A = this chain, B = another copy of it.
């Protein structure tokens, strides 16, 4: 941590900062010679002191700003854990050599609909079935999902077809029931900073897909992962799903693929991409899926539907089943071009 004083800070103000740093057991080191006094903290700052010390120092008079030297997250950092984490989802490795495709409908609507989608996933070589039972909808008047009935269908259809399953959990008190019915827990973008929920899935042993919030910085996203990791669950898969866009004339969000490249550098956790929510339009899902794999993503989360124009949720972004099959062929070629398998 580096504390830059205002150019006109008084010696007393500088001294108060030095004392505050000492008071919490850290070693202050004034850095002379520039156009203002700078005080470095010459100690490794424990994670639980970092934010508190920053705030206490910033509340002192004469302080201009504080620059952080170390990462805000620890367990999620590659500095702490150099090797890639490979998450095992009931036999499917996420973060290994193979690109993992998770696909299925936005919302589970019926046994027939889910089964049709699931068959398409299996036939195209996908290994994980997605399907929403609890839906987070912007409008209270929109379809909110089938709830536990949907979970049962997911378990049944996944079991029938030998597919691993993933579904969203929106309430910490539902973690148990969702974990009984599905193999992977998903935290939606709107809940990325729902801390009680993060703590609850952190106490589970199920893999967790953690979507990035619509305006979350990479540090905020990795700190959300840290909430889960620090509860003892190491099986976190990060999912980029687009950030708030410049405008919504043509896409729902802006897919931030450089986040994939950056996060693979600074963290050891697997990163997947959801091109469906990112673009909001099936037309752009194939191009963004190919790009995600080329950018180094470890997998994809794709919405498909046997009949998008009758979908109860997010029809415009769902690929038809035949388009999905063609996309899987494309992805095989792109994965191979970048040294990955499918």
Contacts and interface: CB of A to CB of B under 8 A. Distances in A.
A196 B138 CA distance: 12
A90 interface: no
Contact of A171 (B4, B34, B172): B172
Copies of chain A in the complex: 4
Contacts of A311: 55-56, 59
A161 interface: no
Contacts of A60: 309
A34 B287 contact: no
A220 interface: yes
Interface residues of A, number: 120
Interface in A113-150: 136-144
B170 A196 contact: yes
A177 interface: no
A56 B310 contact: yes
Contacts of A318: 59
A48 interface: yes
A51 B144 CA distance: 12
A295 B334 CA distance: 11
A282 B310 CA distance: 43
Given A44-B34, A142-B51, A257 B260 contact: no
Contact of A288 (B4, B33, B257): B257
Contacts of A82: 8
A38 interface: yes
A50 B295 contact: no
Nearest to A5: B69
Interface of A: 1-2, 4, 6-8, 20, 27, 29, 31-36, 38, 40-48, 50-52, 55-56, 58-60, 65, 67-70, 72-73, 79, 82, 136-144, 170-173, 190-191, 193-196, 214-220, 223, 226-227, 230, 243-244, 246-251, 254-258, 260-262, 265-266, 278-279, 282-284, 287-288, 290-296, 308-316, 318, 330, 333-334, 336-338
